[in-house]
Amino acid sequence: MRSYPEEFFIRKEKVKKLREIGIEPYPYKFNVSHHSMEIKENFDKLEGKDVRIAGRIITRRIFGKLNFAHIRDEQGDIQIVTQRGVTKVAGLSREEDGSKFFKKFVDTGDILGVTGEVFKTKTGEISVLAKEIQILSKALLPLPEKWHGLQDKELRYRERYVDLIVNPDSRVVFRTRVKIINFIRNFLNSKGFLEMETPVLQPIYGGAMAKPFETYSNVLGTKLYLRISNELYLKRLLVGGFEKVYEFSKDFRNEGIDRLHYPEFTLLEAYAAYWDYNDMLNMTEELLSSLALEIKGSYEIEFQGEKISFKPPFKRIDYVESLSDHLGFNPLDADEDKLRNAAKLHEVDKYDKLPRHKLMDKLFDKLIGDHIKDPAFVINHPVEISPLAKKHRQIPGVTERFELFILGMEIANAFSELNDPIDQRERFEKQVELRKLGDAEIPAEIDEDFLKALEVGMPPAGGIGYGIDRIVMLLTNQPSIRDVILFPQLRPKKE
């Protein structure tokens, strides 16, 4: 049972009294004509004219005949003034003093509708002189103390609705997130891509290596998984004849939470028939450099005190060559013991429990990936860590794949897509063997339907996945992925 502050019961009693005098504290509708920023930006045209605004009372100051308050709407704050003899109350007799009513019944946190005249105070603040006020929602709980706001990180995640009310910067982050997604969507549409929708519930999970969330369909009588990726279904669309497709997908991985990882995240995947990874690389460079200009007005951005540049061209780093330089030997030629000893030497976490392919990737991250600052394409990954990428047309042992790193974060992952069904089956079979050796992130079974689709014939294609949450983090200067997810899950709160 939740405990309530004393203020809750005081406000609850006000609700009762409002209804006794004929005021419904939760009415159905209010016709808004203007918003705060619109009034401020068009003051010269609106001065002396009536407007209808609505928003939440953030501050209130009582001065006898005059009451001052600030209303916060979606665009920002604007001052309202109630005055004895001028302000009336919607639903009450015209003789009722709206200024007195405001003092008695209106609290910070209430949502108020105001009809009034735009003017400027003696101090020069653009305001609205209220001719009529109407309570649109009586808040029973007070807002956080106004001078400190909502600072506790966990509370901000848990009660995001309050965070959005009292921390304007938080609203800016999520407005920018929408702007980023819309820009990317328009960019892809302009390139001839079609936005598609693929299943969230899948009978076999795939397209990545991760632990899934499991559920069960009573109607179908089968186990289902929340998708860890939408890759294999988008490729089925290429088989079906669509040439350029993409999807903003909510994906789910039943794994840990840290600054860069969260079990529910937004992934954008895009595929283009007759392209290869070079085409995807060029498109990514164009997309992200133009996105930085759109959002920040410059190629140069600052993230947590670090300045980085999105000015093209981005740097290219060869995976095997760079790792060989750091290790002193070619990792493709090394056996598992040699890689394990290197991992131990370089203090890779849990090196003694990692299989060969993960030892290699962890070493790369530790020695190279974590130290990349400006945007850089890491290209040509080993075959054994790239089960869905085509083998390089010239270099043995590696694939046509790239990952985009920025400030040590993987932002994008792209391939020349593997469309040889025989090669794909062999790689799936090798993955199954690795699972038997203890790698629980590898799917337990081979996706035969996907292989059948490849056997029908998939055109050569380039494909890419973008971590949308990480892109938003970078362009809004937020330190954690949970700062750019509206309602992150937390451990249940103990009352």
DSSP H or E run through 252:
strand 244-252
262 lies in the same domain as 390: yes
* Beta bridge mates, 216: 223
CATH number of the domain within which 386 lies: 3.30.930.10
Least confidently predicted of 22-26, 146-150, 287-291, 360-364: 146-150
Residue 100's domain comprises: 6-143
129 lies in the same domain as 271: no
Number of domains in the chain: 2
Query: Using CA atoms, how far apart are residues 279 and 268, in angstroms rounded to an integer?
Result: 17
Higher pLDDT, 268 or 1: 268
Residues 205 and 249: beta-carbon distance below 8 Å:
no
329-341 mean pLDDT: 94
Percent of the chain exceeding pLDDT 70 equals: 98
178 lies in the same domain as 74: no
393 lies in the same domain as 458: yes
pLDDT of residue 148: 53
Query: What digits encode the pLDDT tens for the residues 267-307?
Result: 999 999 999 999 999 999 999 999 999 999 999 999 999 99
63 lies in the same domain as 187: no
Query: What digits encode the pLDDT tens for the residues 118-157?
Result: 999 999 999 999 999 999 999 999 998 754 556 678 888 9
Higher pLDDT, 193 or 148: 193
Give this prediction's pTM: 0.93
CATH number of the domain within which 92 lies: 2.40.50.140
Residue 356 has pLDDT above 90, yes or no: no
179 lies in the same domain as 283: yes
Distances (CA, A) of 419 to 34, 271, 277, 284, 448: 56, 13, 14, 22, 14
pLDDT of residue 146: 54
302 lies in the same domain as 268: yes
464-489 mean pLDDT: 96
Q: Looking at the domain assignment, is residue 391 inside a domain?
A: yes
135 lies in the same domain as 202: no
Q: Looking at the domain assignment, is residue 12 inside a domain?
A: yes
137 lies in the same domain as 179: no
Last residue of a domain, one of 143, 176, 209: 143
210 lies in the same domain as 247: yes
Q: Is the peptide bond before 313 cis (omega within 30 degrees of 0)?
A: yes
Q: Which of 100, 68, 105 is nearest to 85 (CA)?
A: 100
Q: Which of 76, 37, 41 is nearest to 55 (CA)?
A: 76
91 lies in the same domain as 234: no
256 lies in the same domain as 396: yes
